[in-house]
Structure 1
Amino acid sequence: MNPAAPLPLWPASPEPGLPLAGQSGPRFAHASHDGASVEAAALDAALRDRLSAARPPLCGLPLDRPRIMGILNVTPDSFSDGGDHATREAAVARARLLVAQGAEILDIGGESTRPGATEVPVAEEIARVVPVVAALRAAGMTVPISIDTRKSAVARAALAEGADMINDVSALCFDPDLAGVVAEANAPLCLMHAVGTPADMQRAPRYDDVVAEVHDALAARIEAALSMGLARARLLVDPGIGFGKDLHHNLALLRALPLFHGFGLPLLLGVSRKRFIGTISGAEAPKARMPGSVAVALIAAQQGAHVLRVHDVEETKQALSLLRAVMGWDE
C-alpha cells in the first residue's frame, strides 16, 4: 500500500437520513417500495413519521437504544434452561444475576412455549410465576418485570404482585380476556406472531410470502387489541422468530425487520439460542448458541429493534456497547 495514497474514512461523516424508529443510532435515507428505492423525504408523511418517530418509554425506559430483556424461565421444560431456575430461590438468584449483568427488563415465564410443548394448567403456571414476582418485589428489586403468558388469570395475579407488562406469544388469540386485564392495569402488551400452538406450530409451516403474511397478521392483531380497549401507545410487536417458521422463514423476517417499524410501535425480538442458530452454526446444544445469538442481536440492533429478549445478558450488553462505539452512535 502506498502510504501517501488517500485512505477512505469509515464512517466518513455522520450517516444521513432520519432516525430509524426513534433510535439514537441507526438512520435511514431511503426506503424500498414496490421493488424501488424511494428517498425518505418522498415518503407519505404519516408513514415517514411512523418509521422515524420516537417510541413511548417502556416501563419508564426510553427506547432511544436497544434495551436488554433478560429471560427467566421458571419451568421444568423450557428448550434451553428448563429446570435451571424452577425453585423460587433459584429464580430469585438468577434474576439478581441477570440484573447485575445488565438486564433492564426481566421476562418471567412459567409455561414453556417451545415446539412440542403442551399447555400448563392456569393454577400451576400461577404457582410458578407469582411467588417469584412477589419475592423480587419484597426484596426491593425495582427493575421492570414482564410476564410471558397467554392467560388472563396469570397476568392478573402477576400484575397484582408488581409485574409491569405482559408478553403474549398468541397476540390475544389464546385468551381474549387477557386484553381486559392488561387494559385495566394500563400495562404494556407485546403482541407476537405465531401460527398454531406450541404443540403443533413447527409441523411443516408454510407461507406464500412470510414477510407480508406476518406483517398483515400483526396489523390485524393490533387492530383487534385496539378494539378490545388497549391503548396503541402501550403495544409492542414481535414477528415471532421460530414460532411456526422454518429456517428460511426466520431469515427472511430478520432481513425485513425495518418493515415492522411501519406500525409506529416498539419492536421486540426474541431469537436467543433458537434452533435456527444451531442449524446454521452447527451448535446442537442450546446453551452453545450464545455467539450466534449475540450476532443476531447485533443485526437486530442495526435495524432498530427496541427490545432484545436474551438469555446471555452480559455477552449481549458487551457486544452492543462495542457496536455503538464503532458506529459512533454515542457521540
Structure 2
Amino acid sequence: MSSSVHDTIRVNDLLLTVPLLTGAVWPKPPGQAALQPVLISLAIPHDISSAASSDDLSQTINYSLLCSLLRESFNDKTPPLETLETLTSRIFDVLFSRADLILREARLKVTQSRAPLNCRAVGLEADATSSGSSWTADYVKHFCVDLECSTIIGVNACEREERQTVRVNISIERWDSLAQRHNWVNYRALTRTLHEVNAHFSLASYIAVVTLEHLWVASPDPLQPIPFVTVKAAKPYAIVFANSSEIEIRRTYSDYPEAFARERRVEPAQGLDTAHTAALALGSNLGDRFYNIELALRLLEAPQAVLGLTDETVTVAVIDTSFMYETAPMYVTDQPSFINCACMIETNLAPLKLLQLLKMIETTVGRVPSIRNGPRAVDLDIILYDNAVIDTRQNPRKELDDLEGELVVPHPRLAEREFVLRPLNDMIPDILHPLLHQSISTLLAGLDSTSDAIPMSKVIPFPRWPSPADYVFPHPSVDPVPVTLTYWTYPSGSSPTYRKTGTNSSRQTRVMATLNVTPDSFSDGATHNTLPTALKYAQSAVAAEASILDVGGYSTRPGSAFITAEEEISRVGPCIAAIRSDHPHLPISVDTFRPQVARAAISAGANCINDVYAFTGPRSYPFTTELEDARGCMLEMKKIAREFAVPVVLMHSRDDARANKDYGAYKYAGPGQAVVEGVRIELGAKVDFIVRGRGGVRRWFVIVDPGVGFSKTLDGNLEVLRDATAITGDVYVGVGNRRRNSLTGYPQLIGASRKSFLGTILEQNTGRKTDPKERGWATATIVACAVQQGALVVRVHDTHEMMDVVQVANALWGSAAIKASYAI
C-alpha cells in the first residue's frame, strides 16, 4: 500500500467457510459449489495516535466489529461465489460501504487453505482505496503456496541418484483492478501444469516462463497490464543444518524476448478515448528556447487548431509543470545547451493520436529533422501514459533511438536521463515506473554521475513586456507568447553531480532593489514618489548591478491609508513605463495584490508580479479554496500570470502583518520549527492551488517568500531566517497523515530590509530606538544569513551597500560573481 500513514490495524487469518464454485481439492461438476475454508487477513492503515493518547475508541477501528461483519456476510448460507476474486470484491464492497468504519484504504489477503491438489494453499492479495461511494483496487497478487514434488535435481553426485522434494512458491503481481476477468487465475489449471513441469524440470526460470505462458494464453491482451512472476524454489533436505536452501527469481515477458513477441497496439480510429493522464517531456536548444517551450505548451491545449479538427470534444489540458532546467547536451555534445522541463496533461486523445499532436507542434514551433539527439527548436516526448506499457514496433529489436512513427511507453531511455527524471520528480516523485516498479524519486537517486559532469541548473525566464514594436505573433489560436528578456539560473540542489562534487557554479544570490512610489511606506515613504526621484533611484540600482527592481504603489504597512486600484495604477504605471524606456534590459517586478494593477503594470513594462498575499488578496486567513473572494482573486491572478508568462513571488502572510502570530498548531514540528512548519503548510497550500490543476502557473515561474516581518513574533522571524533552507526542503510535513512538502525545491526571496523586528533587537540591550533608515548594518546581517541559507533573491532598500554584502557572502557560500544571462 502507498499510504503515508505509518500505523496499521490488522486482523490475521479470520476463518470463514464459504461456498465456492471453483478451486476445491477435488473438482466438482460445473455449477456445483463446495464449502471451502478460507482465511481472511486484513491490513488497514490508520493513525492510532489520537486513540492512544486519549483512550477515545471512536478514533480507532473496531476490529471485533470487522470480524463480526465478515462472518455475518460470508458463511455457509452465502449464495455460491464463483472465484476467490469474486469473494475478494464482495468483501471490499462490504468494508467500504460501512460509514461507521471510515475506511479509506485496505489490503486484503484471501487464502484458500484446502487448495487444489499438489499445493498447500492458494490465494490472492489486493490493495484497494475508497473514492466516495466506490472503491478501486490497483494492485493484485495471486499466489500458490508450497507446490511440492519429488525430482532429480542438484550438482552433487548423490543428488543425481535419488529424487528429493522441491518446494515451490509462486506469486503473480499485476498493477491492475480486480474487475478484469481475463486476469483472474485458474488455480487448478496452473497448479496442474506446474506440478507436471516441476516433476521433470525443477528450474525456477523454467517454472517462471511456463507460468507466464499460462497467463499469456489466458489473456486477450497479455501486455495490459504486464504481470510479474516471482518463483521461490527450495530444497528442504539439501543442507543438514539448515531448514532449506532456496533461490528466488522475478521475471516478466521482457526477460524472454524469444518466447513473447510484443503485440502492436491498435489505436481507436478517431484517436478519442476516455480521460487519461500523461507525462510529457519538453526540450529546446535553438533560438529563443523559453519562447519555444511556452508556445508548445499553449499549442498543446489547442488540439483542434493544431490538428485541424472540428470535434470540440477533443481536449488536452496541462495540469502540472516541473521546474525548468538548463542542461548540458547529452550524447551529441557539440551543440548549445538545452532547456528541459516536463508537464502532466489530462487528455481524451489515445496515445498515437497524442503522438501525432506532439509531432505537429514540433513542426509548428520550428523543429526540422536533424541528427539523432541533435539540436532542435522544440522536442516533445510521451514519457508515461497512465500506467500503460505501449510498444507499437512490429519488430521488438528495432533500434530504440530510431522510433520515427513508433511509440514506446514508458520512454525507453527514461531511467538513464536525469534531464527527464528530475522534472518528473518535481511533479510525481512517488509514481512507479510501470515496468521497473521503482518510483521516479528512486530512479533519480540511483543515477550514476561522473565527477566532471556539468550539473543541471534550474532557470527562471523573464519575458519582454511590452513586446517589441515589430513583433508579430503568427498563431491566432492561442494567446501571444512573449519573447524572452533574460533568465536567471540557480542550483538544482540535489543533482547527483552536485551531491558528488559538493559544488555548483551557478550558486548565487541576487539583489532586488526596492522602489516605493508611495507617500506612506514604513521606511521610505514620500522619498521616491515623484517620477524624477523614482528614475534617479532606478538609475542608482542599475549602477549597483541589482538584478531586478521592485516597484510598489500601495503600502502594506499596518495602518496605511486605503487607496483604490485606479490610484495604485496611476502611481506605478507611468513609473514603470519610464523605467522600462530608460532601462530596456532590467527585470521589473510590480509589488501588488490586485489583478487589475498587475495587468496594467505588465502592459507598462513590468515582467514579474510580487504579491504579499500569494494571489489570495487580503482577509483570506485562514485560507481555503471555499473563500469566494480569495478564490476569485487567485483565479484572476493565475490567469494574468499564465497569459503574460511572468515570474511570480508568492509570500506567506496572515492578513494584518501585526496579527495572527500564534503558530501553536504546528508545535508538533519540534523546538524552533513551528513557524517554519506553518509557512511550509500554509504557503504550500496556496502554491499547490496556484501551480496544479487546469490553468495553473508554470512551476518554473514561482519564487516563494516566507514573509519575514508578517504575522510573526521576533523569535518567529529569527526562526524563519535561521532555517530558511528547511522551508523548501525535501521533507514530509503535517502530523498523522504526513505528506511531502509542497514547497520542495522552490527558490526563495528573503525580504527583511529595515524591518521593525530589527529595531526591536537593537533596542533590547541599550534601549536605543532606531528609524528604519538607521537599520542598514542590521539588514546587512540578515542579508548575509539569507545568502548562507541559499536564497535566490534578497529584497533591499540600500542597494549599493547590500550589493557589497551579497558579493562577499556569495564568495563565501556560492559563486563570487553575479552574472545576468542575456543570451537566449
TM-score by length of 1: 0.80
The answer to whether the 8 Å contact 2:516/2:552 transfers is: yes
Q: Give the Å deviation of 1:172.
A: 0.9
1:217 lines up with 2:682 in the alignment: yes
Question: Match for residue 778 of structure 2?
Answer: 292
Query: Could you say what secondary structure the match of 1:117 adopts?
Result: coil
- Runs of 4+ in structure 1 deviating by more than 4 angstroms, as ranges, are 44-49, 326-329
CA distance, structure 1, for counterparts of residue 685 and residue 572 of structure 2: 30
Find the partner of 1:309 among 773, 780, 795: 795
Which amino acid counterpart does residue 689 of structure 2 have in structure 1?
A
Question: Match for residue 256 of structure 1?
Answer: 723
CA distance, structure 1, for counterparts of residue 461 and residue 716 of structure 2: 29
Question: Match for residue 186 of structure 1?
Answer: 645
Q: Give the Å deviation of 1:216.
A: 0.5
Q: Give the Å deviation of 1:328.
A: 7.7
Which amino acid counterpart does residue 231 of structure 1 have in structure 2?
R
Find the partner of 2:710 among 243, 250, 253: 243
1:149 lines up with 2:552 in the alignment: no
CA distance, structure 2, for counterparts of residue 328 and residue 90 of structure 1: 34
Query: Could you say what secondary structure the match of 1:57 adopts?
Result: strand
1:61 lines up with 2:492 in the alignment: no
CA distance, structure 2, for counterparts of residue 106 and residue 90 of structure 1: 14
* Change over 3 Å in CA distance of 1:84–1:326 after alignment to 2: same
The answer to whether the 8 Å contact 1:146/1:163 transfers is: yes
* Change over 3 Å in CA distance of 1:328–1:136 after alignment to 2: closer
CA distance, structure 1, for counterparts of residue 461 and residue 781 of structure 2: 24
Q: Give the Å deviation of 1:255.
A: 1.5
CA distance, structure 2, for counterparts of residue 294 and residue 66 of structure 1: 14
The answer to whether the 8 Å contact 2:788/2:813 transfers is: no
Note the residue ranges of structure 2 that are not aligned, 5 or more in a row: 1-324, 326-440, 447-454, 463-486, 491-505, 618-632, 665-673, 730-743, 764-768, 818-824
Q: Give the Å deviation of 1:183.
A: 1.1
CA distance, structure 2, for counterparts of residue 299 and residue 135 of structure 1: 34
Question: Match for residue 268 of structure 1?
Answer: 749
Find the partner of 1:321 among 807, 817, 823: 807
* Change over 3 Å in CA distance of 1:190–1:128 after alignment to 2: same
1:76 lines up with 2:519 in the alignment: yes
The answer to whether the 8 Å contact 1:74/1:128 transfers is: yes
CA distance, structure 2, for counterparts of residue 223 and residue 47 of structure 1: 23
Which amino acid counterpart does residue 241 of structure 1 have in structure 2?
V
Q: Give the Å deviation of 1:204.
A: 5.7
* Change over 3 Å in CA distance of 1:104–1:206 after alignment to 2: same
Note the residue ranges of structure 1 that are not aligned, 5 or more in a row: 1-21, 23-43
Which amino acid counterpart does residue 55 of structure 1 have in structure 2?
K
Query: Could you say what secondary structure the match of 2:609 adopts?
Result: strand
Query: Could you say what secondary structure the match of 2:460 adopts?
Result: coil
Query: Could you say what secondary structure the match of 2:537 adopts?
Result: helix
* Change over 3 Å in CA distance of 1:254–1:48 after alignment to 2: farther
Q: Percent identity?
A: 39
CA distance, structure 1, for counterparts of residue 559 and residue 713 of structure 2: 14
Matches within 5 A, 1:12-91: 54-59=457-462, 60-63=487-490, 64=506, 65-91=508-534
CA offsets per residue over residues 139-166 of structure 1, 9 Å max, x none? 2442100000001111101111111100
Query: Could you say what secondary structure the match of 1:190 adopts?
Result: strand
Question: Match for residue 100 of structure 1?
Answer: 543
Query: Could you say what secondary structure the match of 1:222 adopts?
Result: helix
The answer to whether the 8 Å contact 2:558/2:657 transfers is: yes
Question: Match for residue 38 of structure 1?
Answer: none
* Change over 3 Å in CA distance of 1:47–1:275 after alignment to 2: farther
Q: Give the Å deviation of 1:56.
A: 1.4
The answer to whether the 8 Å contact 2:679/2:727 transfers is: no
CA distance, structure 1, for counterparts of residue 782 and residue 460 of structure 2: 24
Which amino acid counterpart does residue 459 of structure 2 have in structure 1?
P
CA distance, structure 1, for counterparts of residue 790 and residue 550 of structure 2: 20
CA distance, structure 2, for counterparts of residue 46 and residue 114 of structure 1: 48
Question: Match for residue 607 of structure 2?
Answer: 164
Which amino acid counterpart does residue 246 of structure 1 have in structure 2?
T
1:173 lines up with 2:616 in the alignment: yes
Calculate the aligned-residue CA RMSD, in Å.
2.3
1:206 lines up with 2:206 in the alignment: no
CA distance, structure 2, for counterparts of residue 224 and residue 249 of structure 1: 26
CA distance, structure 1, for counterparts of residue 750 and residue 685 of structure 2: 19
The answer to whether the 8 Å contact 2:593/2:612 transfers is: yes
Question: How many residues end up aligned between the 2 structures?
Answer: 284
Question: Match for residue 698 of structure 2?
Answer: 231
* Change over 3 Å in CA distance of 1:86–1:256 after alignment to 2: same
* Change over 3 Å in CA distance of 1:187–1:161 after alignment to 2: same
